[in-house]
Structure 1
Amino acid sequence: MSERILVVDDSKLVTDIVKMRLEMYGYAVDLAYSGEEALQKIGDLTPDLVVLDVQMPGIDGYEVCRQLRANPLFEELPIIMLTSMDDKRAGFEAGVDDYLNKDLDLLDLPNRVKLLLGM
């Protein structure tokens, strides 16, 4: 069984690109288009890793991360923040495990996923 990854971004273009990239490496990918949707889906999906955008309408990626870290079921869940912003400190303070720039690092995403999943 392949590892399940939840990709959360309000841009369909970004989610489609990330999904295609990760599926090429054999990962099962689920999508959410808002922080609220991610928090609703995560309990049912029980992903092995989350790829999370920062800037989204409603609940942003930082708050999603803080809520996951506050829940004992998800406090150890690997989270990669994928964004075009440069404020990495806020992401790490919220509890992310890794940070990738959408514009520069997207090709490296499968490698970072593999490292965080311990494979």
Structure 2
Amino acid sequence: MNQSTRHSFGNKLNEYSLHTRPMDHKKKILIADDDEDVLLLLRKILHDNGFEVQCLRNANTIVDGMSEWPDLFILNKEMAVIDGIAICKYPKLHKVASNIPIVMISGVDCQQKAKAAGVDCFIEKPLDTTKLLEAINHCLFVPH
């Protein structure tokens, strides 16, 4: 994570807790990103907002199979082992996971490719915490 991204996230930490809705049970979010700093920060933000969070540094685990599917995926587009767009196609093709929403984050403009691959919401880096939480709420709580 570069210094400007870290600074941008740091400035938002005090604002993010008011953007999620109360839940009867915790929604489970799986984050796949090969940047440990991003994973730690997203885990804190989402956990503090009432979500159960699972983090993966290697998105191949999604392809290898999961014992329990999340309520939402957050995938980074640019990962060393496998491209986020390639990996987001798998849950959409899997019978059990085909309706699980996907939020993609990326520092490159690939929104059209992401949407074509089944991404529900796309957020450009540097990440804005408010936009991220709004996208999550839209995917999880707004009827489609």
Structure 1 length-normalised TM: 0.90
Gaps of 5+ in 2: 1-24
After superposition, where does 1:51-62 map in structure 2 within 5 Å? 51-62=74-85
- 1:75 paired with 2:98, answer yes
**How far off its partner does 1:13 sit?**
0.4
After superposition, where does 1:27-42 map in structure 2 within 5 Å? 27-40=51-64
Distance 1:18 1:56 in 2: 16
Higher mean Cα deviation, 17-26 or 106-115?
Answer: 106-115
Structure 2 length-normalised TM: 0.76
**How far off its partner does 1:114 sit?**
1.2
Superposed CA deviations along residues 80-115 of structure 1, whole A, max 9, x for unmatched, are: 001111121110111100001130433321221111
Distance 1:14 1:107 in 2: 16
After superposition, where does 1:1-119 map in structure 2 within 5 Å? 1-40=25-64, 43-118=66-141
Q: Which residue of 1 aligns with 2:14?
A: none
Gaps of 5+ in 1: none
- Runs (4+) of structure 1 moved beyond 6 Å? none
The root-mean-square deviation of aligned C-alpha atoms, in Å, is 1.5
Give the count of matched residue pairs.
118
Task: Give aligned-pair identity as a percent.
Answer: 25
Q: Which residue of 1 aligns with 2:12?
A: none
